[in-house]
Amino acid sequence: MIESNRTIAVKSAPRSFLEKLKFLGPGFILGASIVGSGELIATTVLGAEAGFITFWVILLSCFIKVSIQLEYGKNAILTGKPLMVEFNELAGLRIGKGHWTVWTIFLLTLFKIIQLGGMIGGAAIIINLIFPSLSLPWIASFLGLSLILFFLKNYYPLIEKTSTFLVFGFTLLTLASLIGLFFTPFSFTWEQVATGLTFILPSELIFVAIGAFGITGVASDEIIAYTYWCQEKGYANYVGKNDGSEDWKIRAKGWISIMYLDAFIAMLIYTLVTSSFYLLGAAILHGKQEIPQGLDLIRSLASIYTEILGPKARFAYLIGGFFALYSSAFATLAYWTRLFPDVFSQMGWIEKSEKAWAKTVTWLSVIFPVLWVLIFVFIKEPGFMVLAGGAIGSVMLLVVIFGGIQFHRKNLGLQLFNGPISKIMFWLSTLSILLVSAYGIYKLF
């Protein structure tokens, strides 16, 4: 996505709520990315280990980290520049044509190929649980091929509509699984849930809670990706270039407010789904001496649903889990086919033209799914693969924080949505992410 001519599509933001809803979309792509292996597996395990008492950690995690995302989204709208262009203009160490932040994001994202292999593998295992006669390598290959076919054209409207469908799918099926729980011996009460809203954190659960805080809500990948979706949706073009006029400020405030609404609705969706996974783990698995790990957790929960509610309930849970894992791979491929051409153009590896960008996107749409499938077939340990990617993401969060502070300082001068509450939430978000990154690096080494 090369910086476009921002004087062509300038228009004011709609004022009515119903009209604003027509311009939502980036958050749905983000939601498709956020609710994946971390929420499906790790969040459920936290509920299993801690019971209901750390429920507040999940809610706080989904809520507080949005402030960094909003700062990135705001900067993307106001400048209209791809994120790597912004990073490459920062002062500091340079290696060749690239700023150190560009190099760091590039290399760390490459290492996360292993995580995406785990996601493809997890989705393949779920299909295998439904159709045991199909082999895992063939299922994984088919899923990789489906991603390639989706992204050969790689148009934003198709990505947004498909992500919206996937988000709707896993939200509906996850809620159905949770509601089904109330018709089983594992039903829970509001009093039990209320114990998880008291901000109590037993010392033996501190590290588990910090780990869950890092996995849930927006992570480094989603924060970076959101900038591309805000621009491709058209927010930056609608605002136009900053000419210092009052009209520009009015347009900027209007479209930033729509971006805020988009992020808020997405937050409600992934908080709802993440909370449901947590409550499933707390209600069904808490108190068990041996808690299943990785994809064995999915098998365990699915078998419980079969025993109590029958095959149809098991099927609903498995399909919801598939939607969650596949949607993450889908949204990540959409993001990577924006990020890598952006990096390549800043490094001088491809020309800074729409033609060169489009050609690179086409090749990457084929190469990445093939690599993800091959690495899963080679390693065959999706649980380990996902956790490895999570640790790498913890390191990348440090770069995201660095960029967020730079953008926050720059955006302060424009006096757009920078009130006291906004500032407090930004620094709380920054501090919380730094703590999570420190924990992730500690676990890595």
Q: What is the pLDDT of residue 287?
A: 67
User: Alpha carbon of 126 to those of 161, 211, 391: distances in Å?
Assistant: 24, 25, 24
Domains recognised in the chain with CATH numbers = 17-444 (1.20.1740.10)
Amino acid letter at 227?
A: T
How many C-beta neighbours within 10 Å does residue 72 have? Answer: 24
Residue of 79, 345, 353 lying closest to 237 (CA atoms)? 79
Helices 100-111 and 311-347 cross at an angle (nearest 10°) of: 150
User: Alpha carbon of 85 to those of 34, 82, 227, 407: distances in Å?
Assistant: 25, 5, 12, 13
> How is residue 186 annotated by DSSP?
T
Q: What is the pLDDT of residue 283?
A: 86
CA distance 179 to 191: 17
Q: What is the pLDDT of residue 164?
A: 86
Give alpha helix (H) positions in 94-219: 100-111, 113-130, 136-151, 156-181, 190-194, 206-215
Amino acid letter at 105?
A: I
Residue of 15, 40, 9 lying closest to 275 (CA atoms)? 40
Tokens coding 344: 């390549």
Residue of 426, 424, 421, 419 lying closest to 405 (CA atoms)? 426
Residue of 322, 379, 310, 342 lying closest to 115 (CA atoms)? 379
In 3-state terms, what secondary structure has residue 90? coil
How many C-beta neighbours within 10 Å does residue 204 have? Answer: 9
Burial 127-162 (b: 16+ CB within 10 A, else e): bbbeeeeeebeebbbebbeebeebbeebebeebbeb
Residues 6+ apart with CB under 8 A from 21: none
* Per-residue tens of pLDDT for the chain, all 445 residues: 555 555 567 889 998 999 999 999 999 898 888 777 666 766 777 788 888 988 888 888 888 888 899 999 999 999 999 999 999 999 889 999 999 999 999 999 999 998 899 889 888 988 998 899 999 899 999 999 999 988 887 788 888 888 888 888 878 878 888 888 888 888 888 899 998 888 777 777 776 676 667 667 788 889 999 999 999 999 999 999 888 888 998 999 999 999 999 999 999 988 998 898 888 888 887 867 666 666 676 777 677 667 666 777 778 778 888 888 888 899 999 999 999 999 999 999 999 888 888 899 999 999 999 999 999 988 877 767 776 777 787 788 889 999 999 998 888 777 776 778 888 888 888 887 777 667 656 655 5
Give the CA-trace dihedral at 182, 51, 286, 303, to 10 degrees: 50
CA distance 161 to 305: 31
Q: What is the pLDDT of residue 89?
A: 93
Tokens coding 165: 């469908």
Q: What is the pLDDT of residue 267?
A: 92
User: Alpha carbon of 11 to those of 22, 238, 256: distances in Å?
Assistant: 15, 5, 13
User: Alpha carbon of 159 to those of 164, 229, 332: distances in Å?
Assistant: 8, 10, 11
Place of tokens 């065959």: 380
Q: What is the pLDDT of residue 256?
A: 93
Place of tokens 């992934």: 270
Residues shown for the chain: 445
